[in-house]
Structure 1
Amino acid sequence: MAKGSAPGAGADAGAGAGVGQAPVPGPYGSPPPGPYGVPGPYTSPMPGPYGPYGTGAVPYGMPPAPQPATSGLAVASLVSGIVCCLPPLGLVLGLIALPRIKKRQQRGKGLAVTGIVLSAVSSLLMGLGFVTGAFSDFWSGVRDGVREAGSSAESLGLKKGDCFRIDLTSEEPVDDVEKIACTRLHEGEVTGRFKVTGFTGWPGIEAVDEIAEERCDRFNKAYAMDTWALPESAGVYYFAPEKRGWKAGDRTVVCGIVTDEDLFAASVRVDETTLDSEQLHYLRTMNSIDDALMTEPEADADEDLGSNRKWARAVHRAVTTASSELSGHDWTHPADARVARLTKDLDEAARSWHQLATAKDADAFWEAYDAAFEGLAREKEVASRSALRLHAVPPADGSEDDGGSGSGSGSGNGGDGGGEKV
């Protein structure tokens, strides 16, 4: 077999070898015929009405045609028109951008026009604001709100359990307090915080004070349950929002116990987090009697006998309930015997308060008055408190003039600045 000839070819087929000869099959076979019977590689498709690559197409290997740049002045005009403080600048930038866009064949004409329109409207409104004084009032309100926010209860950063130093003699609004460790001498301790709700507008400082005093008194009683451990000068204090702070969104009241004489040398916290079950039950029971005593009417029996008898009935009910709660509890030794003695004293006191509650006239009321209070003398609690490891030294007589726990009222928003003794 001659090299380059097809297998089985005759002599005639060999004439003119190399011209029109079928190619020797390679490993992948012969190339296929062309689309229209023409051998060889495919030809380009017939050009269509838009050329071989279609509309806008770029042949492979050729870079795309450069696009016109967007005008930076047009973008700046739009941004300045949107920003409320820069409308005149946006108007100027837009007017400069339009002729440059046309001259340099740039994009951004729509941005510049939008910036001009927004800037023109904003400039008009700003001019009206200055003429009418609206902007002056607005910025004045912003300044007041920022200034008030600096002295708001929320901004003080006080939370329950924090101890702080404060000048209780100052009548100025409190801008700041010094938080310190409760083991150092301090005037105040935070007992809780809450938000004033239920008002659509500013309710007035009197309404805020009334709410703060009532809620903070409850916080204090729950925080410092052993009222015997408080100094005579201890009272209620709170940080509350004023009108400007209220308009700025401040609704927080921070409550605390303060003293303006005998500073606290340790935390006054005595609650469920520091008491055992026996101590907690005892204080809750006996404090209910104090709460009832504190509701004594301002008008005496000569002026309003009915209100005073109603108050005496409330105290009688609290005393009898306390006796039942104490006797029904299982006490460990030696508290069991001492609490049993106290319950007998309470039963005797209840009889005196019943006489007070059923007095026929003011004279009979006054005759039973002293005996009723003597039945609840603090000294009768000393033994049981000592057995329960509670504070066993009775408060000074001056701190309990109304039979209460020695709490008072004060304000951190420019009020009297200190805890008043009850």
Structure 2
Amino acid sequence: MEPTPQPQPPEPGTPPVPDAPATPAGPAPAAYPAPGPYATPGPYAAPGPYTSPGMPYAGVPGPYGPYGRPATTTNGLAIGSLVSGIVCCLPPLGLVLGIFALRQIKRRGQGGKGLAIAGTVLSSISTLLVLLGLITGQIQDAVRGFNEGVREAASSRMPMELRTGECFLDDAGQGEYTLGVRVVDCAEPHDGEITGRFEVTGFDGWPGDRKLEALGEERCDAMAGTYVRDTWALTADTLSLYYYPDRQAWRQGERRIACGIGGEERTTGSLRSDATTLAPGQLAFLTHVNPIEDAAYEEPEADPEDDIEANRAWAADVRAAIDSARAGLRGRTWEPSARASMDAYLTDLDSASKQWAKLVRAEDADAFWDAYDRAFELLSGDAEADVREALGLTHTPPEGPEDRGSV
């Protein structure tokens, strides 16, 4: 047994070490197995986001966007330059805006460089085109065309809105619905002029095209006869016109029919010859004479061989109109310049009355035809043309008897 080493006394100046507590006696510790190799530690979980002091949540981006970098803005002048270049509105403006935009983008670090370049290029092209147009005169032509278009659009109206005596252009074909007419001066070429209008009554619902057409023909023919008293001013292709509302316009409350007069070709000058334009002597002469023309215009379609009674009745109407004119013309004192020609014309009317009486008394078709040509000759003699010339009316007769009468 080895001797137990004795504790050495402390060196002088060294503080005393306290005695270790006594270990109670007990059984000897059990033997543990020798430790094996240590296991490799697994990956550590990534720590959660740390918050700054006083911040309740982590990862909230600040006012400058993610990563703390300010958001890039698009230069406003670049946008203006592109818009000006696209719409070709004041091309130099887009060019100037584009140049200033490029400078601001470089200095401020803004976006929109591509917009500024595109606007500058487009504006440069537009500027060159404008300069070329000014040099060649195309800009002036375009401006004149634009002004004419504005004037046409401003004068485009529905026929029902036009006043009596206004002349117009209508691009719609005959029998087609029109979307509007353009008012023009009657001294310029025009398709027609308005003779009046009237209100359609007596229908609870849409009456249909045929009924409105019948109303237009009847009423507008009468208006044309009142509007154009000097019927010799009309040509063979002069037509009575009428415009009536379609179904949609009727549902919207339109009830008016507009009446007019025009020809197959555009005419120049107004045909109006009524109480507003005629002198008293002119109006009195036409008032007495026109019924003769109207009656002669109503000749039956059937020949005397097919319907002698209808032809006799027509001849009686013509003779009645002649006799009425004779009485009316003799009952007025005429201007000295027209008296001689008026006397000669009245002599022809006296002879015409007797000749048309033969047509009224014709026993058969042969007797009717024997008196027919002479009866019309007396109505179309030079005496009436002389009176018209003396009164200042149209004195060139129509091409034939079939072209006379109201429109």
TM over 0.5: yes
Q: CA 1:178–1:278 in structure 2 vs 1: closer, same or farther (change >3 Å)?
A: same
| 1:242 to partner: Cα distance | 2.3
Match in the other structure for 1:325: 328
Corresponding letter in the other structure for 1:386: E
Q: Which of residues 230, 233, 250 is equivalent to 1:229?
A: 233
| 1:248 to partner: Cα distance | 2.9
**TM-score, reference length from structure 2:** 0.59
Instruction: Work out the CA distance in 1 between the residues paired with 2:201 and 2:395.
Output: 40
Instruction: Work out the CA distance in 2 between the residues paired with 1:313 and 1:170.
Output: 37
Corresponding letter in the other structure for 1:175: L
Instruction: Work out the CA distance in 2 between the residues paired with 1:293 and 1:403.
Output: 8
2:172–2:178 Cα contact (<8 Å) kept? no
Q: Deviations over 1:323-350 (max 9, x none)?
A: 1111111001120111111011001011
Instruction: Work out the CA distance in 2 between the residues paired with 1:297 and 1:195.
Output: 32
**Counterparts in 2 of 1:20-31, with a 5 A limit?**
none
Match in the other structure for 1:385: 388
| 1:362 to partner: Cα distance | 1.7
Instruction: Work out the CA distance in 2 between the residues paired with 1:380 and 1:167.
Output: 42
| 1:208 to partner: Cα distance | 1.2
| 1:301 to partner: Cα distance | 1.3
Does 1 or 2 have the higher relative contact order (CA < 8 Å, sep 6+)? 1
Corresponding letter in the other structure for 1:401: E
1:279–1:390 Cα contact (<8 Å) kept? yes
Q: CA 1:283–1:356 in structure 2 vs 1: closer, same or farther (change >3 Å)?
A: same
Secondary structure of 2:257's partner?
A: strand
Instruction: Work out the CA distance in 1 between the residues paired with 2:200 and 2:271.
Output: 26
2:388–2:394 Cα contact (<8 Å) kept? yes
Q: CA 1:331–1:162 in structure 2 vs 1: closer, same or farther (change >3 Å)?
A: same
Greater C-alpha Rg: 2
Match in the other structure for 1:180: 184
Instruction: Work out the CA distance in 2 between the residues paired with 1:375 and 1:244.
Output: 52
Match in the other structure for 1:109: none
Segment of structure 1 superposing worse, 228-237 or 352-361: 228-237
**TM-score, reference length from structure 1:** 0.57
**Counterparts in 2 of 1:25-64, with a 5 A limit?**
none
Q: Which runs of 5+ in 2 are unaligned?
A: 1-155
Match in the other structure for 2:252: 248
Secondary structure of 1:381's partner?
A: helix
Q: Which runs of 5+ in 1 are unaligned?
A: 1-149, 408-422
Secondary structure of 1:187's partner?
A: strand
Instruction: Work out the CA distance in 1 between the residues paired with 2:389 and 2:358.
Output: 31
Match in the other structure for 2:205: 201
Q: Deviations over 1:301-337 (max 9, x none)?
A: 1111111111110100000111111111100112011
Corresponding letter in the other structure for 1:181: D
Question: How well do the aligned residues superpose, as a CA RMSD in angstroms?
Answer: 1.9
Match in the other structure for 1:213: 217
Secondary structure of 1:338's partner?
A: helix
| 1:245 to partner: Cα distance | 2.5
Match in the other structure for 1:166: 170
Secondary structure of 2:302's partner?
A: coil
Corresponding letter in the other structure for 2:348: D
Secondary structure of 1:235's partner?
A: strand
Match in the other structure for 2:243: 239
Q: Which of residues 323, 334, 356 is equivalent to 2:359?
A: 356
Q: Which of residues 349, 367, 385 is equivalent to 1:346?
A: 349
Corresponding letter in the other structure for 1:229: A
Equivalenced residues, count: 252
Identity of paired residues, percent?
41
Match in the other structure for 2:375: 372
Kindly indicate whether residue 301 of structure 2 is the aligned counterpart of residue 295 of structure 1. no
Corresponding letter in the other structure for 2:257: V
Q: CA 1:168–1:304 in structure 2 vs 1: closer, same or farther (change >3 Å)?
A: farther
